[in-house]
Amino acid sequence: MVRPMESTYPRTMHATPPARALAAAAARYARARADRWAPVPAELDAAIADDAELGAAARRARAELCATLVQRLNDPRRHYLDAVLAVPRERFVLPEDIAHSADDMPMPLDVDGRATVSAPHAYLLTFGLLELGPGDHLIELGTGTGYGAALARRIVGPAGRVVSVEIDPSLHRRAVRLLATVAEEPDISPVEALLGDGRVLAPKLIEGASVPPSRPIKIAVTYACTSIPEPFERRLPEGGCLVAPVGATEEQQELVRLERRGTVLWQTSHGAVRYVTERTSA
């Protein structure tokens, strides 16, 4: 989950017609609650999901977002863009931030900045490094409200599997609810959303993953670790791949890709990033 301050791309100063339409449709939710940091009620999430005017405006705005992502990510995979277009990001942000849900920037989920909905380009960058595709098995550490998992399950398709772990009970409850509202189509699989500490659960999930040799496990970490946990490295199977932000401080983070090839762990760095830091139950 990328920190809000991390965004490389500023908000557009002059909103396009789709962006203005989204802002107008979202206005009714901007002042819906007295406390923006309070848990979002299920009734409000349901109202947002049922708002046809908002949904249409948001989809038009996401079409512009996809055009932006093509330029910024040097022509990302078509099925990744299809997922961005299809997944209603406006449902996964806080209601107060719906007007900016089609912006390529992270959105805060708590007052302390410990959780965000990452910028769309951040998810696509990670998925690209993982070479995530149809039929893959993905373990995501850091569900947030479920936006990344919603994208991933469209990418892996009905033959794939997505398991996502979230440590915050409030975020987990909302993620389960939101993922259920966008799982009505027959060509996508449900996400297995787990509540718990990713550092504790991930080794067991990696070890218990039942995938054929041609489909090695893939792991996306959405928060920054000071180093990749040793149990993750030890249990990563042949061909398995992990992508995570790694760094001792927020200012020193880099996106790291780890892949097992026989007895060797191949590690490569893919540029500076700034993600929220790891939370553990310890």
- For residue range 59-84, what is the model confidence (pLDDT) as tens digits? 999 999 999 999 999 878 999 999 99
Most confident by average pLDDT, 84-88, 158-162, 246-250: 84-88
- For residue range 155-184, what is the model confidence (pLDDT) as tens digits? 999 989 999 999 999 999 999 999 998 765
How many CA atoms does the CB half-sphere of 273 hold within 13 Å? 31
Band of pLDDT at residue 211, cut at 50, 70 and 90 = low
- For residue range 107-164, what is the model confidence (pLDDT) as tens digits? 999 999 899 999 999 999 999 999 999 999 999 999 999 999 999 999 999 989 999 9
Q: Which residues are catalytic?
A: 118
CB atoms within 10 A of CB 209: 19
Determine the pLDDT at residue 10: 35
Determine the pLDDT at residue 9: 32
Of 163, 128, 166, whose CA–CA distance to 243 is shortest?
A: 128
Quickly list DSSP for 52-105.
HHHHHHHHHHHHHHHHHHHHHTTS--HHHHHHHHHS-GGGTS-GGGGGGTTSSS
Domains delineated in the chain: 4-272 (3.40.50.150)
**Rounded percentage of the chain residues whose pLDDT exceeds 90:** 78
Q: For the range 127-130, what are the long-range contacts, defined as Cβ-Cβ under 8 Å and sequence gap of 24 or more?
A: 127/80, 127/151, 127/152, 127/155, 127/220, 128/73, 128/76, 128/77, 128/80, 129/241, 129/243, 129/255, 129/257, 129/270, 130/218, 130/219, 130/220, 130/241, 130/243, 130/257
Determine the pLDDT at residue 68: 93
Determine the pLDDT at residue 2: 54
Band of pLDDT at residue 38, cut at 50, 70 and 90 = very high
